[in-house]
Every structure is written in structure tokens, then in C-alpha cells.
Amino acid sequence: MPHSTRRAALRATLQDQELDALLVTNLLNVRYLTGFTGSNAALLVHADSDDTAVFCTDGRYLTQAAAQVPDLERVIDRPCDVALVKRAVKAGVGRVGFESRHVTVDGLDALADAADGAELVRAADLVERLRLVKDDAEVEALRMACAAADRALAGLIEHGGLRPGRSEKEVARELESRMLDHGAAGPSFESIVATGANSAVPHHRPTDVLVRDGDFVKLDFGALVDGYHSDMTRTLVVGKAADWQRELYQLVAASQAAGRAALAVGTPYADVDAAARGVIEEAGYGDEFVHGLGHGVGLQIHEAPALSKAGDGTLLPGMAVTVEPGVYLAGKGGVRIEDTLVVREGAPELLTLTTKELVVI
């Protein structure tokens, strides 16, 4: 894993920010920079050299840290953030950045006591900005996560898992079990299975409601592989599809295709949202598309960038995002179609490969 390369990119950022070091306390950022997967850790990255970086955890993870972080100096102490700030002071560091979005008020007081004259500087989102663009190892993990989800859904359908009389909860449990069978460490999030009128609820939680003939069934789910999350939504019909269901599905499919086509390097986030949203608005359903078009995926299921009306920024090659328009008719039913893709020069790379044609079971 290219952890040293990631730390090198961070050091360049620290130099640009005129910081001597950064205290990394967000565990996802620690994992990104070191590979460590435990529940307690911090990292001190110096702007001048990787040789002076220090990783800290507690005694529970002595063996794990040695295996996962063999290339850095390791300290066993508690609390790690205070211990590393003290190390920075001893090393003569003048300006220490800290991840201000992840430090409590009380935690900041403790860091200030430990700083002993060194300047603590708010340094929000420095690592998150690096995480915006995925490297090859990250994209490969995302591919594997998407493949596990694709195969799970295919198996669910092939073996009759979506049929009248099964509850939303039963379908969700089987779908998640099948993702485990295909290499996932777990689901990316609590799977959404919504049948009939429940499919009009964007983030419906599975219940004991039973699938019936003629229902839309909306499945929003993902697999977790090597810490990386996939995200996919497919909406199917059980039994015979009514004309209104086919028309609604085709509208959302056209919107989703427009959103995917807009994923070009240099395109503003808001313009991607507008490309898909305009299709639905022109059809008169703008008020029924109630959320943003998509979001970044990676070590978190929802991370930057935000593809929405308020999205601020432009697409870069290597960004991993979802495109997921939906139209929700309260009390009747709804459709969402979602893919995970990677922005590339030319055309985006599609990672979720399950068909987007309307599947009628």
C-alpha cells in the first residue's frame, strides 16, 4: 500500500501551509496514511522528512501496530494525541497543525497544556483533500467492493430471494449475507430494502412489510472491502410492471445517464447535479427529486465531493463518486438508480456493473 507516498503528499501540503508538523487524530486519516486499522491511534507527520514521523497507539495494539505500521517509529502511550504533541515540542517544532474538526473542546485544552509554547494551528481537512483523489490501490479496493455487491444481487435474484411473501428485512439479511459470501467484510451501511409505497421513502429502513406482486422494490446497498465502501441502488418490479412504473423508471434512467455523461474532468460539481436534475425537472417531477445527485465514496460511505446544487469544486481525475437520481411519489412508489464510478480522462469508469434496464421478476 502506498502509505509513504500519501505521507509525502501531505508533507508538501504542510510546507504550503507553513506548518512544521500535523497531528492526525481522525482514525480514518490515520489508516489512510499508515494502514493501521485499530480503534485508538494518532500520527505525527513532520513537514521535513518521513524519517521523523511518529505513530502512537496503546498496548492492546502492540503486535498489530508492528505488523501494520512497520515503516514508522512506534510509541505505546495514552492519550496518544497528548503524547505526540509532547514529542513535537521536544523535537523543537514551532507550528503544529491539528485536525480541528475532530478535536473536542476539552481535548484542545489538553493539547494546549502539552504544547508548552509551541503554536497549535487549526488545520481542518488537509488529509481529506488528499483523499478526494483515489490512488490505484484505493480504486482496486472499490472495484472489489462493487463486484461483491454486484454478485450478491445477482445471486439474490437467481435463487428467488426477491419474491412475494418475503419481508423487507428477510431480503436485506440475505443480500448482506451474500455480500459476505463474495468477500465483503460487511455491508457498507444498513441496507435499504423498500417495497411498494415504502420505495417512495428515500432512506427507508427495512421492516416486516411483505413484497407483493406489482411492487417496486428499491434496494440501496454496498459492500465493505479493505475499508472501502461500494454504493449501488437498483429498483426492480416483482410481477407485472404497470405502465406508470415503466414510465417513471425510464425517466430516472434517462436522468442517471445524463449525470454519468456529465462526469468529465473539470466539470463543476453543481453542473453534474444540474445535468441529471434538469431531465427530471423538465418532466415535471423536480419537487420529487429531493436530494443531491451523488457523493464521494471511499473510506467513508459519504465523503467529499458533494454532487449537489450547493457543490463547490470541480471534478478531478481519480475521484470516486456516486450518481443516484430518484423520483419519489408519496404513497405510491419511487425509483432510484445509483452507480459508483471513478472520474477519468475521456469517460468515467463504471464500477457497479449490474444492468440498469428495468428488471421484472
Task: With beta carbons less than 8 A apart as the criterion, state whether 39 and 115 touch.
Answer: no
Closest C-alpha to 186, from 125, 153, 228, 151: 228
pLDDT of residue 117: 85
Average pLDDT for the chain: 97
- Share above pLDDT 70 across residues of the chain, in percent, rounded to a whole number: 100
Backbone angles phi, psi at 125, to 5 degrees: 70, 15
> Has residue 75 got a pLDDT over 90?
yes
When pLDDT is cut at 50, 70 and 90, the band that residue 2 belongs to is: confident
pLDDT (mean) for 334-351: 98
pLDDT of 183-227, one tens digit each?
999 999 999 999 999 999 999 999 999 999 999 999 999 999 999
- Share above pLDDT 90 across residues of the chain, in percent, rounded to a whole number: 99
Count of other CB atoms within 10 angstroms of residue 190? 13
Backbone angles phi, psi at 315, to 5 degrees: -70, 140
pLDDT of 151-171, one tens digit each?
999 999 999 999 999 999 999
pLDDT (mean) for 100-112: 95
When pLDDT is cut at 50, 70 and 90, the band that residue 85 belongs to is: very high
> Has residue 257 got a pLDDT over 70?
yes
When pLDDT is cut at 50, 70 and 90, the band that residue 230 belongs to is: very high
Closest C-alpha to 169, from 205, 198, 221: 205
CB-side neighbour CA atoms (13 Å) of 26: 19
Report all structural domains of the chain as residue ranges with CATH numbers, in order of start: 3-131 (3.40.350.10), 136-350 (3.90.230.10)
Phi-psi domain of 132 (left: phi exceeds 0; alpha: psi -120 through 50; beta: other): alpha
pLDDT of 291-332, one tens digit each?
999 999 999 999 999 999 999 999 999 999 999 999 999 999
pLDDT (mean) for 346-354: 97
pLDDT of residue 1: 61
Task: With beta carbons less than 8 A apart as the criterion, state whether 143 and 339 touch.
Answer: no
> Which tops the pLDDT comparison, 270 or 1?
270
> Has residue 174 got a pLDDT over 90?
yes
pLDDT of residue 54: 98
pLDDT (mean) for 111-122: 95
